[in-house]
Structure 1
Amino acid sequence: MKHLFLPFLAWFKQVNGDTLKADLFAGLTGAVIVLPQGVAFAAIAGLPPEYGLYTAMITPIIAGLFGSSLHLISGPTTAISLVVFSTISRYADAGSPQFIQLVLTLTFLAGVYQLALGLMKMGKVVNFVSHTVVIGFTAGAAILIATSQTKHVLGIKIPQGESFLHTWLDIALGFPQINPYILSVASFTILSALVMKHYLPKMPHLLFGMVMGSLASIALGGEYHGIKYVGEIPGHLPPFSLPELSFETLKQLASGAFAVALLGLIEAVSIARSIATKTHQRLDSNQEFIGQGLSNVIGSFFSSYAGSGSFTRSGVNFSSGAKTPMSAIFAAIFLALIVILVAPLAAYLPVAAMGGVILLVAYNLIDTHHIKHILESSKSETSILATTFFATLFLELEFAIYMGVILSLVIFLMRTSLPNISTMAPDPNEPRHKMAEVADIGLKECPQLKIIRIDMSIYFGSLNKVQTELAMISEQQGIKHILIIGESINFIDLAGAEMLIQEAKRLKAIGGGLYIQGVKNKVFDFMDRIDFLADFGDGNVFSSKEAAIHSLTLRLNHSICSNCRLRIFRECRQLPGAAA
């Protein structure tokens, strides 16, 4: 129980001199990487640059201490930043005090949602949401982010709040007005970062690109040619802040906050799981929900906006040799020291260079490998990808997230509503006449008794498929006795139980019966609780196939058996006409 509220006690026992050394190096690497990212992400969120850095200091510490993953690094992310901006920009001007206040409230409320879901043990809900939702949303967000930065890298004036299509129309119309100095600084920033990444992939290429862009602006005399600068960043630790917690404001932001919470949880758990497959760590999704929720709730009181798990920083953290969440704590500490020392230098950072860096970030968000794999391998996942992607481009961002999640759940329910139903028969080549699928090896079947195996579950969603199959067997094939092998049935709900009782009574009325064999203990316990056996028939439920076949062969029409030459059951030898 103590590990639920103080989960760091579990991994803190692993900390020693070797792990501290590894985590220290990984933390330093992470701090250098997040410095330019934090500034860039804050710009995407419509916040002053220091808020991205504050988020990168507070969020990873809380999430690391109260989460479950040993390698997940939380903080500002591109997708979350874009949703934050989209949600709050309709109520206040970007960067204004009111905008910042509403962002903190949104962060607090998103954290409350996440924390509540974690405490209610809803972590497994993420299992039912396809990761394709994140891939599609992130790809769409990347294009929106790139679109939003075109005015900064081209020097074209574009009205605030333009839609995706209108922005590109304005770009096309304003193409002759491109400022060559601004474009040169942005291009040089991108080129410098790409060269650094190619030749020195382990070095902080984004930071290098920013520095080179600043030098290019100085060399070109940027201030005389319309080049704007980010401005000096306050060189201090995250100050205390207070979200606006009035009922009216909370009501206003409730929907957007839930979208932020949902996207943040899907991101964080997906990243944590992808790393856990390499480290063989067992994750606790509920604990991860709690960690993400606390990081946002506490962060909102320390000038941090909504964060989540970072694909880039978590991957770098793992590849850098991190052993425990101490690496996240070290990264936050190093970042604080760096900010105090170098914050004044942001006064020389051109907005064009920042735009170039954000374009690179946006490009790296598009997971072309997985998108290609999805398009080639699954039509249902392709539909989720396309729906989320286009909804992100043309609809409200939180609605795009909801659409992707809902479609993902609908497809999951559709799959479970069509359980696999296989026809079974004894295999005469097996010593104990073990049951096998008829279609696999062309087994012969009893003309009076149909044996089927139902995979997955019998619940309200799958009733139609199961009931249709039972009706087809009795009406089209003329078989009145049906035995269901229940070893693969995960659960039966009340509607499923009522349907089975109804079918049992229908078959009994025409001189046959419905029988079940080998259900799991939890399924049998449920049947017992609802007095299923009383209506279904206690003698119609069997614990073994041998007992079922022995009992059911005695209930068949023996006049038909006497003329039957198939004799697929061993029990058929004792029936009339066996010697014929």
Structure 2
Amino acid sequence: MKNLPNLSRYLPILSWGKTYNQLSLTNDLVAAVIVTIMLIPQSLAYAMLAGLPPQMGLYASILPITLYAIFGTSRALAVGPVAVVSLLTAASISRIAAPGSEEYIFAAITLAFLSGVFLLAMGIFRLGFMANFLSHPVIAGFITASGIIIAASQLKNIFGIEAHGHNLVQILSSMSGYLGEINWITATIGILTAAFLFWVRKGLLPLLRGLGLPKRTAEIIAKTGPVAAIVATTLLVWAFDLKSAGVEIVGAVPQGLPPLTVPGFSLELWTSLLSSAVLISVIGFVESISVAQTLAAKKRQRIDPDQELIGLGAANIGAAFTSGFPVTGGFSRSVVNYDAGADTPAAGAYTAVGLMFASLFLTPLIFFLPKATLAATIIVAVLSLVDFSILGKAWRYSKADFIAVAATMFITLVVGVEVGVITGVLVSILIHLYKSSRPHIATVGQVPNSEHFRNVLRHDVITHPNILTVRVDESLYFANARFLEDHLFERVARRTELRDVILMCSAINAIDMSALESLEAINERLCDMGVSFHLSEIKGPVMDQLVDTDFLKHLTGEIFLSQKIAVDRLSQT
């Protein structure tokens, strides 16, 4: 029993399971019913988006969500196929196999395994911080561009024509050659279904509430919109034999539980998929942890990012051994799960039971389901992710962030999703390095009748002709140390009356070896110019590093606890 706290850290089910009661069971079962109804069409659609047989979408939603319930820390996150990860899966696998082929399916299973192993390793070694290299503006730009590509890729199914490509340019140019072959019956089904689903999202719930239905009942009915579309269009195709009129249908879907599978262990296959697996893992984790933390905050619950990595890793490994493909925590299904009243991750396990029932008994009913209906489901789902306002927000707040967002969106749309997100990461890192290599350096003076020192360009402050005080608003490291040198020497050269230079260190959190050498060079050159070099307000951890160096032994000036003490003493000498 003494080891139970440590064990529950890696098996969160041991924590929430101890307080599980009848009320939680009821809430979780209700949430599971609602989410299951939503996931049946969504899972089929996302499998199709990934270029895989539709049943694999159901398979990828059964064991993964159950494993996450055991290892994950979010009580509302619903794990399974999502639009962006499905698109990335299709983009990475189609390079090495033809969509729909046995090799393609095998590669998807292997990709899920590699993604799971990578996520699991990151969680075990507590490397969740690596996801921070993807900034929120870059993620927003990438998801917006991906949403546009996904929606465009489904237009071929809406219109019943051929099209291919992995970016917007390829898809649209490919589609333009087949516009004369549009199947208008298919197009009518697809367009009307999309219009209906858009109306369901915005207008059905207020209508039901206006009719006097209880909120919970109205919400449940509103969530069944996609299922209603599937039932109606399937019956339509069956009753009027629209298949003979060229309407493409899902066809026979195997009936039964997910078959056990074994991922590939070929070095050549792993080499081909490894970079994609890493990218899918990081993108999926960022999307998942964002949703999980947002929902947890509403109930004042805690999310452990490193344990989330373990939960998602286990989910993906589970998908690999049960005929699935890469999965992560989805925004729409998680929000529905939360809104439906899910109390614990057990709701996910109950959802898995519902999907098992669908896989066992309901798949024959979707034989005549038109692909245009699934395409409409995907389009309506992903267009809710498109947010062009991020461009305006980034432009107004930070031109550097705007460049990162715009570059990510443009490259994703024109070149492809993998290159797009890599571009976003690289641009973000380069912009960060550029900005930190040219830190803000302020000349400061004393605010009258106070002990505060502020920028001379922003405040009416007191300065002394023989003293120059500068504040660097950045940690000092190899990339910006020379910039500080050049700035100080230029300032001192223009003011021959200077006797003392004070480096105010209140914003410096670290000094690396290169920066230390620059401080030594500054000290020596100022000494040759007859100017003393002083430091003030050094933080404890930084001082701990400097104490064991020769820099302090050769410092021509002093170390001051505060800027006020430094100015008072030096102005009197």
Q: What TM-score do you get using the length of structure 2 for normalisation? A: 0.89
Matched, 1:81 2:86: yes
**One-letter amino acid matched to 2:398:** S
Mind listing any 5+ residue stretches in structure 2 that lack a counterpart? 1-5, 206-218
Partner secondary structure for residue 456 of structure 1 = coil
Matched, 1:20 2:38: no
Closer/same/farther in 2, CA of residues 244 and 381 from structure 1, 3 Å limit: same
CA distance in 1, matches of 2:429, 2:297: 24
Alignment correspondent of 2:201: 197
Alignment correspondent of 2:209: none
**One-letter amino acid matched to 2:480:** S
CA distance in 1, matches of 2:328, 2:96: 23
CA distance in 2, matches of 1:338, 1:22: 21
Matched, 1:378 2:398: yes
Matched, 1:354 2:358: no
String of CA shifts for 1:465-485, please: whole Å, max 9, x gaps: 322322232112343422122
Alignment correspondent of 2:532: 513
**One-letter amino acid matched to 1:210:** I
CA distance in 2, matches of 1:531, 1:116: 42
Partner secondary structure for residue 475 of structure 2 = strand
CA distance in 2, matches of 1:315, 1:416: 38
Residue of structure 2 aligned with 1:420, choices 433, 440, 446: 440
String of CA shifts for 1:487-535, please: whole Å, max 9, x gaps: 2212111111111111111112222222222222221222235554334
Structure number with bigger Rg: 1
String of CA shifts for 1:517-554, please: whole Å, max 9, x gaps: 222222122223555433446x632333455345544x
How far is 1:165 from its partner?
Answer: 3.0
CA distance in 2, matches of 1:162, 1:454: 46
Residue of structure 1 aligned with 2:492, choices 469, 474, 486: 474
String of CA shifts for 1:376-435, please: whole Å, max 9, x gaps: 4432222222222222222243222211111122223333333332333233323xx443
How far is 1:14 from its partner?
Answer: 4.6
Alignment correspondent of 1:133: 138
**One-letter amino acid matched to 2:534:** Y
Closer/same/farther in 2, CA of residues 199 and 399 from structure 1, 3 Å limit: closer
Partner secondary structure for residue 491 of structure 1 = coil
Alignment correspondent of 1:184: 188
Residue of structure 2 aligned with 1:334, choices 324, 341, 354: 354
Partner secondary structure for residue 271 of structure 1 = helix
Question: Is 1:210–1:353's contact at 8 Å kept on the other side of the alignment?
Answer: yes
Alignment correspondent of 1:504: 523
String of CA shifts for 1:231-290, please: whole Å, max 9, x gaps: 233332322110001212111212222221221122122222333443444433222222
Question: Is 1:474–1:480's contact at 8 Å kept on the other side of the alignment?
Answer: no
Matches within 5 A, 1:98-497: 98-158=103-163, 164-201=168-205, 202=219, 203-204=222-223, 205-430=225-450, 433-478=451-496, 479-497=498-516
Partner secondary structure for residue 423 of structure 1 = strand
How far is 1:151 from its partner?
Answer: 2.2
How far is 1:42 from its partner?
Answer: 0.3
String of CA shifts for 1:185-239, please: whole Å, max 9, x gaps: 2123223323333443432222222222223323443122011210233332322
Q: Which stretch shows the higher mean deviation, 77-86 or 342-351?
A: 342-351
Question: Is 1:119–1:290's contact at 8 Å kept on the other side of the alignment?
Answer: yes
**One-letter amino acid matched to 1:454:** V
String of CA shifts for 1:346-389, please: whole Å, max 9, x gaps: 11211222222222223223124545433544322222222222
CA distance in 1, matches of 2:171, 2:334: 33
CA distance in 1, matches of 2:306, 2:555: 39
Question: Is 2:477–2:511's contact at 8 Å kept on the other side of the alignment?
Answer: yes
Mind listing any 5+ residue stretches in structure 1 that lack a counterpart? 554-571, 576-580
Alignment correspondent of 2:216: none
Alignment correspondent of 1:32: 37
CA distance in 1, matches of 2:119, 2:288: 11
String of CA shifts for 1:112-140, please: whole Å, max 9, x gaps: 22222223322223234212222222222
Alignment correspondent of 2:212: none
Closer/same/farther in 2, CA of residues 76 and 188 from structure 1, 3 Å limit: same
Question: Is 1:76–1:308's contact at 8 Å kept on the other side of the alignment?
Answer: yes
**One-letter amino acid matched to 2:190:** A
Alignment correspondent of 1:5: 10
Question: Is 2:472–2:505's contact at 8 Å kept on the other side of the alignment?
Answer: yes
How far is 1:183 from its partner?
Answer: 1.1
**One-letter amino acid matched to 1:313:** R
Matched, 1:533 2:552: yes
CA distance in 2, matches of 1:422, 1:12: 55
Alignment correspondent of 1:568: none
Partner secondary structure for residue 386 of structure 1 = helix
CA distance in 2, matches of 1:444, 1:457: 26
Matched, 1:46 2:64: no
Question: Is 2:138–2:404's contact at 8 Å kept on the other side of the alignment?
Answer: yes
Runs of 4+ in 1 over 6 A off after TM superposition: none
Q: What TM-score do you get using the length of structure 1 for normalisation? A: 0.88
CA distance in 1, matches of 2:396, 2:233: 40
Alignment correspondent of 1:90: 95
String of CA shifts for 1:96-115, please: whole Å, max 9, x gaps: 22111111111111222222
Closer/same/farther in 2, CA of residues 252 and 411 from structure 1, 3 Å limit: same
Question: Is 1:185–1:217's contact at 8 Å kept on the other side of the alignment?
Answer: no
